[in-house]
Amino acid sequence: MQKMKWKNSYIYIGVLLFFLVPSLFAEGFDRGSLVFYGFGSVGLGNHSGSLEKSVEITNQPNFLMLNSPYVDTIYRVGNYIVYSEFVKNRTELSSHGGELGFEYGLFRYFGIGLSYSNQVITSSYFRALEERNIILLSFMGTNVNTQLEKLNLGDTYDLAVQKRRTVFSGSTGDLNFFFHFLPNDSIDPYIRVGGGVGSEQMFGGNINRVFGALGLRYHFDSLFFLSAEVEHSNVYIVKYQAPNSGHRNKGNYEESFFKLGLGVHFSLLENKVPNSEMENQKTTVMESVGSEIPYQQTKEPVTETKLERFVFLAGEIFDLPSSRIHLEGRARLDAIARSLENEYKDFDILIITYTTPFKEDLPGNYENYELGFERSQAISRILREKGVNAKRIIDSTQGSALYNVDSKEKVVIELRKKTNK
């Protein structure tokens, strides 16, 4: 039995590592994504102020009358109906608040951020008269009936002069952790958890806040998005010193919220590659790499289907001499992918990478030939993750070529008219 438990534990750990590690280090993770957002929130009223509610239900002077043995049944039932109605309103609490924050994309699926949150709890009807004064008023009655009438009179007057009042107002600075299910889609569901510290602004006391939320973002534009969340939070009041008089709010407030907001999203890395640079790098292959292409490759006829080429030095995309795409290269490929989707939807793409056939001046060493395949496949993978249909990308392993100039290894992304089948 013990061995079976250990076996299950190993299976769980293996499955966790299998899904977690690739998600952290997968090609095309969105480093540098910066998001600013704001929320308005409305409490659902399921939990907030439960301690206050239980107190308000039993501390009304007229509650004494309901338990009095000197009151007949009809009078007791009638008063109970009226009493229940205004006590229900009196104990109704509502919450609202807001949040401002930002998120930074650490990996493709994970983000971290800071936010400022404020929560306000108000009572629809808050006691205006001390219940002791109403009880003293009832003692002025000469018999039981007049005493009960004065209790009713006092409670009625108290209800008439009551007004809405804030019973809690707390602000916190929070640390947030995000997990995105579909980070590159226009509809992005996510989970957010976190906590923070702050203070209660009306009656004093430091507060600790923990929360969890399930949210959905809709990117209706390349920059802006709408966001909705359902959040459950718990605020604990700590290091609290009760005042000599006034409201005492020592305890905790638990609440569920519906939140709706607006945000802006952009990449810190994309700003490093202006559009003008991309336009300047559009050129013909004969102007950029024609002199380095081997003679046998130039013999191939140039068909009319070749319309345009994006040409880069290999160092602008890869960490030479490897096939690993660096951050600036990812930003360039991201910009190219947007151009392919917006301006060149009707063209197929051929990826060509030029590498030297020799390593360390040893003739016959074709190790870099496979390196060219790896580079082409890495570019193809990034374009697919950025939204380019895989059917448009011609087999990139056929687009690798060798030439003899180490200092001018190049990357060419060639556009061709789609063949009519």
Query: Along the 421 residues of the chain, how does pLDDT read in single tens digits?
Result: 555 556 566 665 665 555 444 444 433 335 567 899 999 998 886 555 444 444 445 445 555 555 565 666 666 666 666 666 666 656 667 788 999 999 998 877 889 999 999 998 877 655 666 666 777 777 777 777 777 777 777 777 777 777 677 778 889 999 999 999 887 778 889 999 999 999 888 777 788 999 999 999 998 887 889 999 999 998 888 776 665 555 555 567 888 899 999 999 877 654 444 444 444 444 443 344 444 444 444 434 444 455 677 888 888 888 877 788 888 888 888 888 888 888 887 788 888 887 766 555 555 555 566 777 788 888 888 888 888 887 888 766 555 666 554 446 777 777 777 655 4
293: amino acid identity, one letter: I
| Predicted local distance difference test score (pLDDT) of residue 421 | 45
Q: Is residue 341 part of a domain?
A: yes
Three-state secondary structure call for residue 221: coil
| Predicted local distance difference test score (pLDDT) of residue 52 | 46
| Predicted local distance difference test score (pLDDT) of residue 147 | 74
| Predicted local distance difference test score (pLDDT) of residue 278 | 47
Query: Which among 169, 177, 160, 159 is positioned nearest to 199, based on CA atoms?
Result: 169
Sheet holding 400-402, edge to edge: 306-313, 410-417, 347-355, 400-402
Pairwise CA distance, residues 148 & 16, whole Å: 68
Please give the C-alpha separations between residue 99 and each of 96, 115, 196, 209, in angstroms, as whole numbers. 11, 7, 13, 13
In terms of residue numbers, what domain contains 135?
29-267
Q: Is residue 186 part of a domain?
A: yes
Same domain, 259 and 371: no
The distance of Cα 63 from the centroid of its chain, to the nearest Å, equals 48
Same domain, 246 and 348: no
- In the listed set 237, 267, 297, which residue is the last one of a domain according to the structure? 267
Same domain, 254 and 274: no
Pairwise CA distance, residues 50 & 238, whole Å: 18
Same domain, 146 and 57: yes
- Tell me the CATH number at 106: 2.40.160.20
| Predicted local distance difference test score (pLDDT) of residue 232 | 92
Same domain, 208 and 147: yes
- In the listed set 244, 267, 290, which residue is the last one of a domain according to the structure? 267
- In the listed set 267, 295, 315, which residue is the last one of a domain according to the structure? 267
| Predicted local distance difference test score (pLDDT) of residue 261 | 95
Same domain, 324 and 392: yes
Same domain, 326 and 253: no
- Structural domain total, the chain: 2
Same domain, 282 and 233: no
Question: Rounded to 5 degrees, what angle do the CA atoms 351, 284, 374 make?
Answer: 20
Flag whether the pTM goes above 0.85. no
| Predicted local distance difference test score (pLDDT) of residue 325 | 87
Q: Is residue 6 part of a domain?
A: no
| Predicted local distance difference test score (pLDDT) of residue 339 | 83
| Predicted local distance difference test score (pLDDT) of residue 84 | 63
